[in-house]
Amino acid sequence: MKNLLIFGAPGVGKGTQSAFLAEKFSLSQLSTGDLLRREIAAATPLGKRIADLVAGGKLVSDEIVMKLLAAAMAKTEGGLILDGFPRTVNQAEQLDDLFATLGKKSAAVIYLKLDESALLERVVGRLSCGGCGAVYHRKFMPPRVAGKCDDCGGELGHRPDDNPITVKTRLAEYRQKTMPLLEFYRNKGLLKEIDGDGTAAEVSARIVASI
Ligand code: AMP
């Protein structure tokens, strides 16, 4: 059973492509962003501690993210697609250890690439379902009924961190802390570099052809 990792700047389409790959290859999709937002929405003690960091576009500590991910992973069976994780070299090293204890390994790391101007347009037009987390875009991927999720009928809204100012911080965090992962996975021979421009279906086809 394959375990895939998907990697790229904010707004590049990780969530959309992960959902597609999860369906196509019967994988469990685990998004650390979704796990963190769930804690925040439920106002758990952890959620309260991390709310400001996430709202400001800063990365949450490796320790917190690892704990959440390991707990979520324990509830899955079969192959995984990890969406938005790892985001630091330390997380990647800890993931290797966690996978080793579970008898799993990473089969491929999909790196979605896109120009910064296109990223910004994708992020500020993004709509997310408050119910199931499905992702839409006002212009590029509108829902069938305005404001409603196609999958679960939930209300669609803007993530508070999907604004031009916070995206600048998220991009800076990405460049500084996440980009070094490219070398890490390139050296392991796992990196698949995919052009993230075009429609979701076009990008999906490129990914499938590469893995
Ligand atoms: P995402 O939904 O992947 O765009 O993540 C939204 C926010 O959650 C990020 O801007 C971070 O604040 C936090 N986050 C998500 N995944 C991680 C991670 N692997 N490590 C640290 N922070 C994360």
C-alpha span between 47 and 22 (Å, rounded): 27
Q: Which of 6, 31, 36 to mutate to test the pocket of ligand 1 (most atoms within 8 A of CB)?
A: 36
Contact, 135 vs 19, CB < 8 A? Answer: yes
- Angle at CA of residue 47, ends 50 and 170, nearest 5°: 35
pLDDT in tens, the chain (211 residues): 589 999 999 999 999 999 999 999 999 999 999 999 999 999 999 999 999 999 999 999 999 999 999 999 999 999 999 999 999 999 999 999 999 999 999 999 999 999 988 999 999 999 999 888 888 999 999 999 999 999 999 999 998 899 999 999 999 999 999 999 999 999 999 999 999 999 999 999 999 999 9
- Is ligand 1 within 6 A of the CB of residue 8? no
Order of strands across the sheet that contains 156-157: 135-137, 126-129, 156-157
- Catalytic status, residue 144: no
- Answer yes or no: is the C-beta of 65 below 6 A from any ligand 1 atom: yes
45 upstream amide cis, omega within 30 of 0: no
Atom of ligand 1 nearest to the CA of 59: 22
